Structure 1
Amino acid sequence: MSSPAADTGTDTDTPPPPLHRLPFTPARPPHPTTLPDGTPAWLVTRYHDVRQVLGDPRLTRNDLHEVGAAGSTADVAANPASLFNQDGAAHRRLRATVQRAFTPRAIASWQPWVAAAVQQSVDALLAVGPPADLVTAFTRPVPFAVTARLMGLDGDGPDRLDEGRLRHWTLALLAQGGGDQEPEQDEQAGRTEALAEFGAFTDELIERRRRSPGPDLVSRLVQAADRDGGIAEDALAFLVLGLTASGNESVTGALGNALVYLLAERPEHWRRLTDPVVTEHTAERLLHYIPLGDDEATLRRATSPVDVGGVTVPAGAVVAASLGSANRDPAVFPGGIEADLGTPLDAPTLAFSVGPHYCIGAWRVRLELRESLRRLATALPDLRLTVPLEQLSWQLGGTTRSPAAIPVSW
């Protein structure tokens, strides 16, 4: 989950670049590197090599949840109960349970109200008028409305969750240490309290859904887990907690970073987004080239010797597969991010991984980004940033990074 320090060092005294300018190691054969915590690893950067690593059963996520980070890692990434940190039989059981909740029919039934949530935020933006901050007016409200509806947290009963409380809990869950600097005692105590509140809320939510299921995703997950059996309660709870928090934050980041890139770097493309076909290709290209976070690599451990791109990785070695480098491999994507955004990618993106750890929320990020771009461009063809890109501030300290504000007018 962390960038190999030997290849992509960062200067903490300077503002971070926007994610579309984040440097990645050039695509080349697998080679040794060192992770921020000093762990030796093999860095894999070429597209086809990374695809192999992500799908090879000899390369596993087991026992890697504390490897690679220079400081403390986010609970959502470091917890061994996370779906991301499991492989083998336990992972297959949990993954199969999740897939029974995310059926194509269920996803199709959710699409109309995702579109309605986007349009509601667009209408609210128009009603208030310019100037506006797209973060407070759009990139946070849209994912929250979808999360609340998806998880059944938008009613009037004890399950209701307001945006402020979810954001407070999410920041605690996704918080990461700043290098070697430990958080202040009061800050750590507040984070611990927030995580305890979030955990208690999730446990109670699961029990209420078990007693009285509804059409929401939590009910579907609980019912599938109870039917399948063999799913640990902590794994189920962490799955619900992660889908509620990290899914919401990931979409906020994807929307914000996509809008920053389009308005700052590709304003000539904005009006083309009224075309649904152009928007679909644009959304996929933006998700492909703009990472969902600062982390360069996803980690695996070799359980036996593995040949990757003509290089033998020994058994027991850590492998750092760089999705960002692979998605910029000039042998596969010669046009790079500067290519026509309205055309299909040359190969499937690895932004959401591939194989057994393919992101279960990819459908949601794609759908919300497509609907948001098309509906915003249709309603606001003259939308523009009111400050230079270099003056934007950033929300830091989590598994994702996004603009703290996007001041615009029209």
Structure 2
Amino acid sequence: MTTEQRPVPDAPLVPLHCLRHAEPGPPRLAVLPTGTPVWVCTRHADVRQVLTDPRIGRAPLYAPDAPPITLIPNILDDPDSMLNSDGPEHQRVRRTVQRAFTPRAIARWRPWVASVVEELIDRLEDAGFPAEIIGSYSRPLPVAVISRLMDLDGLDPERLGRWSDHALSATAYTAEQIGTAMREFGHFGFQLITARRKEPGDDLVSSLVQAADQTGGVTEEQLTSLVCGLVVAGHETTMTTLGNALVYLLGEDRAAWARIGADPQAATAATEQLLRTIPLGDSTTFPGMLRRTLAEVEIGGVTIPAGAVVAADSAAANHDPDVYPAGPVDLFAPVGTPSLTFGAGPHHCLGAWLARMELELALHSLARRLPGLRLTAPADAIDWRQGLLTRSPQTLEVAW
């Protein structure tokens, strides 16, 4: 079979909701920027199989015989991370944290998160317009939530943003710059763990340390990696999704904006559709979540050899016409088949319910309080955060 190389487009960047996704079809052979062949899966059923089949895992990507998958490693390439373990080892680390992220546990945080949302909108209104909504709303909300959840009060948001950008860098920074930032970040995580072990509190880090010490089997490196990963994941994806959702709603769907503000249930439904239809980033440098086969496996009628790298393109799968209606998206229709935005199987995103809650509250309250909110410049004038695995507005000026 011939291989396919995705070129990096020279055209101006378009909003994420305007991206054209790969046409769903059988797994096809492409090439990573490193030159390593990769089987790209785009159909919903195929992507779900890649994410749930025990014969396809993350750990084999870092085996001694594994081919290179990234030109410059980032936080996703940490061999000590929960992400890059499989089977019993993965479950052992995951059990130390998953109770804090169940729907029931997250529901207890809802009143407090709602109060943070209202406070941020108060500040936005008091400052007047035009206003820059990423720095005043989309970024500080998830930072405040993860900081409270992990008791990180006093952590400089700019420092956190710098670590996060380096952690998820694709082409924005050099290997040396990423290495320096990750060492600083890791030192911060280690110090945080040490402090909570000496003086535990009522926060997620303390509970992680206590669970790890009681159950055993979790190394200090794994625990540090887990804490740092939660800090990044706890704010980056929510900030990215909220910023991109505002680009769409304020620029193209004013009727939906009004309905989201008028009805909390409409905000809940719209959140699911926005999570399904707007990807976190481009696919030019990241064709999907990577896995590697442990044995020969058939996916979508195609035999994939043992030791092959496979990419699960969830963005394409979330638009599979055999699963979801084609044409314009009805933001208020039930999603039906769960999307693959948060993955599936053993590696399903722990923070999925937290992200949903933050997005629902952020969109509903903002639309209710500021029904006339609008962008002050066209979408083609947006300054985008580039060179990362995610893409969202760097800044977004609004008025009301």
TM-score between both structures, scaled by the size of structure 2: 0.92
Give, as a single letter, the amino acid of the residue that structure 2 aligns with 1:87: D
- Aligned match of 1:48 in 26, 36, 45? 45
3-state SS, counterpart of residue 347 of structure 1: coil
> Does 2:161 match 1:174?
no
1:123 maps to which residue? 122
Paired with 1:176 and 1:123, the residues of 2 have a C-alpha distance of 36
3-state SS, counterpart of residue 404 of structure 1: strand
1:106 maps to which residue? 105
- Aligned match of 1:312 in 296, 303, 307? 303
1:157 maps to which residue? none
Q: Residues 113-262 of structure 1 correspond to what in structure 2 (within 5 A)? A: 113-154=112-153, 160-177=154-171, 183=174, 191-262=178-249
Are the equivalent residues in 2 in contact too, given 1:73–1:177 (CA < 8 A)?
Answer: no
> Does 2:334 match 1:344?
yes
Paired with 1:251 and 1:63, the residues of 2 have a C-alpha distance of 29
1:263 maps to which residue? 250
Are the equivalent residues in 2 in contact too, given 1:61–1:86 (CA < 8 A)?
Answer: yes
Paired with 2:69 and 2:15, the residues of 1 have a C-alpha distance of 21
Give, as a single letter, the amino acid of the residue that structure 2 aligns with 1:386: T
Instruction: Tell me by how many angstroms 1:232 deviates.
Output: 1.1
- In the superposition, relative to structure 1, how do residues 108 and 70 fare at CA in structure 2: closer, same or farther (>3 Å)? closer
- Aligned match of 2:280 in 280, 287, 292? 292
Are the equivalent residues in 2 in contact too, given 1:264–1:389 (CA < 8 A)?
Answer: yes
Instruction: Tell me by how many angstroms 1:192 deviates.
Output: 4.3
Are the equivalent residues in 2 in contact too, given 1:135–1:406 (CA < 8 A)?
Answer: yes
3-state SS, counterpart of residue 245 of structure 2: helix
3-state SS, counterpart of residue 112 of structure 2: helix
Paired with 2:132 and 2:182, the residues of 1 have a C-alpha distance of 29
Are the equivalent residues in 2 in contact too, given 1:139–1:252 (CA < 8 A)?
Answer: yes
2:72 maps to which residue? 72
Structure 1 residues 380-407: Cα deviation after superposition (integer angstroms, max 9, x where no partner): 0011111011110101122211101111
Instruction: Tell me by how many angstroms 1:189 deviates.
Output: 5.7
Paired with 2:68 and 2:258, the residues of 1 have a C-alpha distance of 42
Give, as a single letter, the amino acid of the residue that structure 1 aligns with 2:304: V
- In the superposition, relative to structure 1, how do residues 228 and 102 fare at CA in structure 2: closer, same or farther (>3 Å)? farther
Paired with 1:115 and 1:137, the residues of 2 have a C-alpha distance of 16
User: Number of residue pairs matched?
Assistant: 391
- In the superposition, relative to structure 1, how do residues 317 and 190 fare at CA in structure 2: closer, same or farther (>3 Å)? closer
Q: How high is the sequence identity, in percent, across the aligned residues?
A: 47
Q: Which runs of 5+ in 2 are unaligned?
A: none
Q: Which moved more, 1:162-171 or 1:54-63?
A: 162-171
Structure 1 residues 31-76: Cα deviation after superposition (integer angstroms, max 9, x where no partner): 22222221112221111111112111011111325866553132x1
Paired with 2:229 and 2:67, the residues of 1 have a C-alpha distance of 20
Instruction: Tell me by how many angstroms 1:325 deviates.
Output: 1.0
Q: Which moved more, 1:272-281 or 1:57-66?
A: 57-66
User: What root-mean-square deviation, in Å, do the aligned CA atoms of Structure 1 and Structure 2 show?
Assistant: 1.9
Give, as a single letter, the amino acid of the residue that structure 1 aligns with 2:31: T
Are the equivalent residues in 2 in contact too, given 1:36–1:68 (CA < 8 A)?
Answer: no
2:83 maps to which residue? 84
2:4 maps to which residue? 6
Paired with 1:82 and 1:319, the residues of 2 have a C-alpha distance of 20
- Aligned match of 1:387 in 369, 377, 399? 377
Instruction: Tell me by how many angstroms 1:107 deviates.
Output: 1.9
Are the equivalent residues in 2 in contact too, given 1:6–1:35 (CA < 8 A)?
Answer: no
Q: Which runs of 5+ in 1 are unaligned?
A: 155-159
1:332 maps to which residue? 323
> Does 2:265 match 1:277?
yes
Give, as a single letter, the amino acid of the residue that structure 2 aligns with 1:48: A
Instruction: Tell me by how many angstroms 1:235 deviates.
Output: 0.8
Paired with 2:101 and 2:339, the residues of 1 have a C-alpha distance of 21
